[in-house]
Amino acid sequence: MKCHILILALTCCSLVAAEWEFTPPPGAELVNVKDYGAVGDGAADDTAAISKAIAANIDASRYRANRFIFLPKGTYKVSGPIEGRVSTEGWSAGWRSMLLLVGESRRGTVIRLADQAAGYGDPAKPKWVLACGSEGDNRSNQSGGGNRAFRHAFLNFTVDVGAGNPGAIAIDFIASNRGCIEGVTIRAPEGSGHTGIGMTRAWPGPAYVGDVSIEGFACGMRLDQYQYGMTFEGITMRGQREAGIANTNNMLAMRKIDFVGNVPFYRAAGGHSFLSLLDSTLTGKSGAAISTGGYVNLRRVTCTGFEQIIDDTSKANKDLAATPGTPTVVVSHDLGQTFGTVKGLDLPIEDAPYLRPGKGDVWTDGGTTRASLQAAIDGGAEWIFIRGGIELDQTLIVRGKTRLIQGLAAHLKGLGKEVAVRIEDGLAKEVVFDQIYVDGIIEQASSRTFALRHGDHGGFHATGSGKSFVVDVIGKDYLIGSKHRFWARQLNAEFGNEPLFTNEGTSWILGFKLESSTRGDKSGSQGTPALLNRAGGRLEMFTGHLYTLGSKAEQRPAVPAFTNEKGRISLSWRLNGIPTTWYDKLLQQGAGETAVVIGQDTVKPPGCALMTDER
């Protein structure tokens, strides 16, 4: 196994959202933990009260529209685990999808483990403070591992593991297809804390961690499993004692990471590990910033203080020394045996809009029908909240002054394969949908900016000349038009019978899973490619996971995984374990177009980075 490296090093800054003071609007129907007996004074033990609030509400509508559990400002002392379960017995040992926790204030809402809490003293037997889990088909799923940990969200609070708890994991996180930790601070006093965010249960991701600060701990984050991959952006890490990130074989897509420490930033034990790191700063005092024998794809990374950027632990043993003050532009593209230069697309990157109402802004209740929501939009509302399920009897048109529709896990349902939501031109330059499941197609037909954050859709058609962003989204049938610019973080594309993603414009994606569920069969019918880039489109994707379903040869698609027709494309990806013969080829291109193989792991399952800069 060899180390495959792509690096362009420049300076960048961190991505940090403004402090969000969230007061639930009247009628939002959030679950307040204080209604279940939580005190939040830092002295009373609130473990039972918070657990009761979760257990009483997590099983209501967990695949579409669960209610958020709200923690007002205060310090909530806990003495044991807070988990996304209805109980510890019965089906799936009580674990349920869609645990949604939101704090009133990132700094003002604190979940704090009691000092020297029972069960948290042994780092050889780590124990979590806060955990979500996956549903399963047996009662013995005590760990909460699995691939049905749908739509968990931890937002806008702080987790403090307290003093004298060296075995404490602040958040043990697992999410499937989408889920997030966003706007969260995780901290451990000196000498305390095992892991800031643990992601070692089967199987983490795809999911998103953004605008997170990790202070202290032996290790800031730990990942173990081969599947499915996580996306990180805007992460600050300080004071880890062993490593910033410890990984075995997982896939990490990372951007705007600000690390300062006396230990390696990243340490990967497995040869199938995959790290894409963009626009980041790594500051240390000695040794190597990155120690790995797996795949590494670095762009615009500044490394200061470390003696090496990369310690290649593979048999190739091609370390990369740090040159202080000198940007490094190198690539290993010959199976890790040489360092050279390869040109990629390096498309412009823009941050996704993050809109929250400020002081003086007024929430408008969008009601519970399509007509009431349309009336709120057309009545000039800027900040709208909705809740529960809303039946769509016709297309919802977003126009006028509306800036944010906060779904609070709402479900817009009823239109299926039709256009459910159309974004048209209006007075607001930016429009954001947050925490919304859209049953139908979203059509971005405007010249302005639209963002879908933490949501689902049944199709995304960008037909206008504006910009679009998706962050932590499940969907299918993407069509990015020739005049459109598109950016994605944590894009999970699946369930479609057409190409899951078609690009004719300019698209940039950080962290993606393409789940191909269409394939040829015995009758001779053909499947469809997972991704199609055509008609002069430019597309760049970092850390992709090709997740193919099925294993019989007669069901194999007679199509490539990726097709590039008169466009420009740059891809880095890994297969999920199905042999490459699952596709007739991995990349198909027109005459005169070429691809450069950055690296290929010849040990099953294969992974590869393909880049082309030809028309």
Rounded to whole angstroms, what are the CA distances from 339 to 5, 6, 126, 311? 8, 9, 40, 14
Residue 469 contacts residue 445 (beta carbons within 8 Å): no
State pLDDT tens for residues 434-484: 999 999 999 999 999 999 999 999 999 999 999 999 999 999 999 999 999
**pLDDT of 330:** 36
Supply the pLDDT for residue 140: 62
Instruction: Name beta bridge partners: 265.
Output: none
Q: What DSSP designation does 139 have?
A: T
* Cα separation, 265 vs 220, whole angstroms: 9
Q: How confident is the model at residue 593 (pLDDT cuts 50, 70, 90)?
A: low
25-278, CATH topology level: Pectate Lyase C-like (2.160.20)
The average pLDDT across 53-64 equals 93
pLDDT at position 192, please? 98
Ranges 169-183, 238-252, 303-317, 468-482: which has the least confidence: 303-317
pLDDT at 613: 36
Q: What is the mean pLDDT of residues 141-166?
A: 95
pLDDT at 183: 97
pLDDT grade for 429, boundaries at 50, 70 and 90: very high
Residue 597 confidence class, pLDDT cut points 50, 70, 90: very low
- For residues 170-178, average pLDDT: 97
Q: Residue 558 — pLDDT band, cuts 50, 70, 90?
A: low
Cβ-Cβ contacts under 8 Å for 180 (sequence gap 6 or more): 152, 153, 154, 155, 207, 208, 209, 210, 454, 472
Note the pLDDT of residue 600. 37
pLDDT for residue 63: 85
Q: How confident is the model at residue 298 (pLDDT cuts 50, 70, 90)?
A: confident
Domain regions of the chain by residue span: 25-278, 394-612
Mapping DSSP onto H, E and C, the string for 480-494 reads ECCCCEEEEEEEEEC
What is the C-alpha radius of gyration for the chain, rounded to an integer number of angstroms? 23
CA 101 to chain centre: 17
pLDDT surpassing 70 at residue 611: no
Average pLDDT over residues 226-236: 95
Q: CA–CA distance from 187 to each of 69, 100, 281, 542, 600 (Å)?
A: 22, 21, 21, 29, 38
Tokens of 439: 């049953």
According to the model, what pLDDT value does residue 595 have? 47
Among residues 474, 469, 476, 487, which one has the least CA distance to residue 538? 487
Distance CA 536, CA 614 (A): 10
Buried/exposed code over 117-134 (b: 16+ C-beta within 10 A; e: otherwise) = beebeeeeebbbbbbbbb
Mean pLDDT of 241-247: 98
Of 58-72, 401-415, 596-610, the poorest mean pLDDT is in 596-610
Residue 340 has pLDDT above 70, yes or no: no
Is the model's pLDDT at 241 over the cut of 80?
yes
557 has pLDDT over 60 = no
How many CB atoms lie under 10 A from the CB of residue 355? 19
Q: Can you give the pLDDT at residue 433?
A: 98
pLDDT band of residue 604 (cuts 50, 70, 90) is very low
Residues 106-140: tens digit of each pLDDT? 999 999 999 999 999 999 999 999 999 999 876 66
> Who wins on pLDDT, 255 or 344?
255
Q: In whole numbers, what is the pLDDT of the chain averaged over residues?
A: 86
pLDDT tops 80 at residue 608 = no
Q: Name which residue leads in pLDDT, 485 or 527.
A: 485
User: Residue 319: is its pLDDT beyond 60?
Assistant: yes
Angle at 322 between CA 316 and CA 328, to 5 degrees: 90
Coil vs helix vs strand at 236? strand
- Number of helices (H) and strands (E), helices first, in the chain? 2, 47
Q: What is the amino acid identity at position 432?
A: V
- Distance between CA atoms of residues 465 and 486, nearest Å: 11
Q: Are 197 and 221 in contact (CB under 8 A)?
A: yes
Q: Which of 57-66, 150-159, 248-257 has the lowest mean pLDDT?
A: 57-66
Would you place residue 19 in the very low, low, confident or very high pLDDT band (cuts 50, 70, 90)? confident
pLDDT class of 215 with cuts at 50, 70, 90:
very high
> Is the alpha carbon torsion for 456, 460, 466, 467 positive or negative?
positive
The C-alpha atoms of residue 546 and residue 494 are separated, in whole angstroms, by 11
Binned at pLDDT 50, 70 and 90, residue 607 comes out as: very low
State the pLDDT at residue 76. 99
Please report, to the nearest 10 degrees, the dihedral formed by the alpha carbons of residues 117, 121, 125, 128 taken in order: 30
Q: For residue 316, what pLDDT band results from cuts at 50, 70 and 90? A: low
Band of pLDDT at residue 16, cut at 50, 70 and 90: very low
Q: Output 401 or 311, whichever has higher pLDDT.
A: 401
Does residue 53 have a pLDDT over 80? yes
**Percent of the residues in the chain that have a pLDDT greater than 90, as a whole number:** 65
